[in-house]
Structure formats: structure tokens, C-alpha cells
Amino acid sequence: MAYIQSSSPFEKKGQVKKTTKGKGRTYRTAKEGAGMTAKGVAEYRKKNPGSKLSTAVTEKNPKGKRAKRRKSYCARSKGQMEMHNINCSKTPKKRICAARRRWKC
């Protein structure tokens, strides 16, 4: 039997259980636009004090910091799509494509 260290520095702390179904769900399905729900973000922030995680910027014309967040997310996710050779016109059901639609990228 393997030895399991009780206080491992590699232990994943503060993660939110990924559920997309039911009343207490923390993530949206790919059909709904992927990403965390407001409840999921609140749960994550509760487990990780000092976290600045917030929900998606979905309004048409965000101003200030929210506009910068959207621009940053869109650039980052575009890089992920290119790195993994994902074409959203061919595979629109992928989570990254759904999330980019939700963020209006």
C-alpha cells in the first residue's frame, strides 16, 4: 500500500466540485455558454480568501476594468484555440467556443 502524506504541498485546496446539473451546480453546460455560475464563483471565493475571481463579462459595451477583462480573456482564449487547433465554425459545441460566444469574443 502506498504512503499518503496527510499535509501534502501538492494537495489541491480550494477547488470547486465541477457540477453542471441540478440545483447546486457550479458550472454552466457547453450549450448554455460554459463557464462558472455566480454560485460557483461565490463558492470558490469562499474557499480561497483574497481571490479576485469574478463571472463573465457578458454585457454589450462594458466600460473600464470590465472591458479590459473581456479583451484580455478573448486574447487568451484565442491563443488556446490556436494552440489546440480548434475551429469554432466546424466544432461549435466545444466548451471554449461556447465560452467565447458567451463573452462575445
All three cell numbers of 16:
470547486
- Report helix angle 95-102 to 65-83, nearest 10: 160
The predicted-structure confidence for 57-99, as pLDDT tens digits, reads as follows 999 999 999 999 999 999 999 999 999 999 999 999 898 999 9
Average of pLDDT values for 22-49?
A: 86
- Whether 3 shows a pLDDT value over 70: the answer reads no
Q: Give the predicted TM-score (pTM) of the model.
A: 0.73
- Largest Cα separation within the chain, whole Å, is 57
| Structural domain boundaries in the chain | 38-102
**Distance between CA atoms of residues 7 and 11, nearest Å:** 8
Q: What is the DSSP letter of 60?
A: S
Q: What is the CA radius of gyration of the chain?
A: 17
Q: What is the DSSP letter of 105?
A: -
